[in-house]
Amino acid sequence: MDPVPLATGPGAPIAEARYSRQALLPGFDAAGQARLAASRVLVIGAGGLGSVTATYLAAAGVGTLGIVDDDLVEVSNLHRQVIHGERDLGRAKVDSAADRLGQINPRVRVVRHRERLDETNARALIAAYDIVVDGADNFATRYVVADACVLESTPLVWGSILRFDGQATVWWPPAGPCYRCVFPSPPPAGSVLGCAEAGVLGSMCATIGAACSTEALKLIAGVGRPLIGRLLVHNALDQSYGEIPLRPNPRCALCGSEAMVTTPGEGILAACAPPEPVGERLSPSDLQALLTHDDLVLVDVREPDEWASGMIAGARGIPLGTLATAGLPDGDVVLYCAGGVRSAEGVRILRKAGREARDLAGGIAAWRAEGRAAEAAPGA
């Protein structure tokens, strides 16, 4: 394969000892290392995938690494976002990441973009880099990044993880499809869980993040066969890997012959935005006070495999997908889920069917955060 055209000039002098093992590989000799030193890679997110990807790109000698993130380090990040430590709690993730990358390889220039990437700044940010690695955790950002990369003719290395599953590919038309070719529109709000709702095995970030960093290095050096037109899928529970072929959509609104998208996220951002909660939302204290009421109908709308981790006492398990046909008894209906996304959608479903309901803001995570107990599900 041909290497990615670089937007920068000659790279910095090679530190032979540092890269000696890598330099034994075809494509990573002195000329290849100079290409790495001259390259500019933008990493979207300093979270789980971004931590791993940025670490290995810095160690390999990528000359400029841009990190986009507007978030702060929280304790719940630490099990998977390994670029941060306990002493970084409360710091901006871009600052924590930049400090760590500087320790790994002080020859790498780290550019901190402490801002949220959206449709107003995506093209300007991406235009300054040769390759983008997307480790975003939400659909709105994924579509904006994917659109901007096509509009700027920039290859996009993409990874996604959830629970025990991961995916990776390279979106780069016309050599292969773009993100919208395969996913022309986002899923309905609340239909796909995030890590905060469904959980994630931290080491999945290492598996998929390593695949993403390898793809970026291959594109820079011009070696091997990149994941263009192929979706790598991995399941950690049976340690399996597979591939799904991906094809361009000639009618794609972004890269097809009749493309209409000229602004990142055009026509799609409203669908990605979470819907506003409907009506009153209960706090854990509010729900605690209701648990003694005889007419309370408390419903856990998570999936059955989530109930084993514990349910609020007195709750009945009814997955969100079957809620509309569940035939709930008369009473004061209160829904809850893991973090409050699915329960809010459940309230909308029931109200559309003419049944009043409320939900627990923050879900069972908020309930537990206040030290309240959750008991094992019946039969678990």
Helix axes 93-104, 48-60, angle to 10 degrees: 30
Residue 289: C-alpha distances to residues 37, 96, 208, 283 (Å) = 62, 42, 44, 10
Confidence of residue 188 (pLDDT cuts 50, 70, 90): low
Among 349, 358, 344, 339, CA closest to 290 = 358
Sign of the alpha-carbon torsion through 343, 345, 346, 350: positive
Q: How far apart are CA 26 and CA 24, in angstroms?
A: 7
Q: How many CA atoms lie within 13 A of 16 on its CB side?
A: 1
To which residue do tokens 């530190």 refer? 15
To which residue do tokens 């990149």 refer? 226
Instruction: Look at strands 332-336 and 358-360 and give their pairing.
Output: parallel
Catalytic residue among 149, 195, 212, 252: 195
337 is catalytic: yes
Per residue in 221-256, pLDDT tens? 999 999 999 999 999 999 999 999 999 999 999 999
Per residue in 123-141, pLDDT tens? 999 999 999 999 998 889 9
Look up the CATH architecture of domain 281-369.
3-Layer(aba) Sandwich (3.40)
Element (H, E) at 317: strand 316-317
Q: What is the pTM of this model?
A: 0.80
Per residue in 272-285, pLDDT tens? 776 666 678 999 99
Q: Homologous superfamily of 22-272 in CATH?
A: NAD(P)-binding Rossmann-like Domain (3.40.50.720)
pLDDT of residue 316: 93
pLDDT of residue 44: 97
Per residue in 31-69, pLDDT tens? 999 999 999 999 999 999 999 999 999 999 999 999 999
User: 157 forms bridges with which residues in the sheet?
Assistant: 133, 170
Annotated domain spans of the chain: 22-272, 281-369
